[in-house]
Structure formats: C-alpha cells, structure tokens
Amino acid sequence: MCEALENDGLPMPKYTVHPGDIMILFTSPEDRIIRFTDKVNVHLAEKETQILNYLNQDPGYTVTALSELMGISRKSVAGYLKNLKDKEIIERVEFSRKGYWIINL
C-alpha cells in the first residue's frame, strides 16, 4: 500500500495509536474522491455533529433531552435542529411524544 502511495506521489499514512485501537489517516487527491450526495459536502457545526451522533443512538430524543445531554439551552438545540432540517439532513416524523428523527445521510 505504501508503495502505491509513493508511486502516485501521495503522502504516507499517518498513524495514531491509542490504547485499544490504531487510527490510520490516508490523504487522497481531490480528483479521486467520490461524492455520492450533495450532503457529503455540507459543513456541519460541531454541535450539529454532536446532535446527529445522539440521534443516531436514539432517534426519539427530544429537544429537552438533547439539551440536558449536551449541557446547552433548549433554544440552542432547537436552532441546531432547524439548521439540520434546512440542510435536509434530518426530518421529524410525528410531532407528538411518539415522534422521532430520521437522518438522511
């Protein structure tokens, strides 16, 4: 693999060793990146990414629950959710207590 990277003039992978795992970062030239949807290139704020991670764990989370988990106001969570809905990354199914979120990625 390293030989192929070298032959293509690409940087060698960077290794990060943690207890229990190893992370390897490969760098690819832009012309070799395949983009499947427009959503792949959407910029997400750190808190938006955090919300998506929580919704991936439990799509039933409410604004109040997310607020408590993240330690930020309900108003802030509602703003981040609105941004994610505007970007068509999430959508709400039912607006009752039985409602849940769908992630469209």
One domain, residues 44 and 94: yes
One domain, residues 43 and 94: yes
One domain, residues 53 and 80: yes
Please indicate whether residue 33 or residue 89 has the higher confidence score (pLDDT): 89
Looking at the 3D structure of the chain, how many domains does it have?
Answer: 2
**How much is the pLDDT for 10?**
82
Three-state DSSP string of the chain:
CHHHHHHCCCCCCEEEEECCEEEEECCCCHHHCCCCCHHHHCCCCHHHHHHHHHHHHCCCCCHHHHHHHHCCCHHHHHHHHHHHHHCCCEEEECCCCCCEEEECC
One domain, residues 57 and 98: yes
One domain, residues 60 and 74: yes
For the stretch 35-57, pLDDT in tens is 444 555 567 889 999 999 999 99
In the chain, the percentage of residues whose pLDDT exceeds 70 is 86
One domain, residues 57 and 7: no
pLDDT band at 23 (very low <50, low <70, confident <90, very high): confident
pLDDT band at 32 (very low <50, low <70, confident <90, very high): low
User: pTM to 2 decimals?
Assistant: 0.60
pLDDT at 59 over 80: yes
**How much is the pLDDT for 34?**
45
11: domain range?
A: 2-32
Please indicate whether residue 35 or residue 62 has the higher confidence score (pLDDT): 62
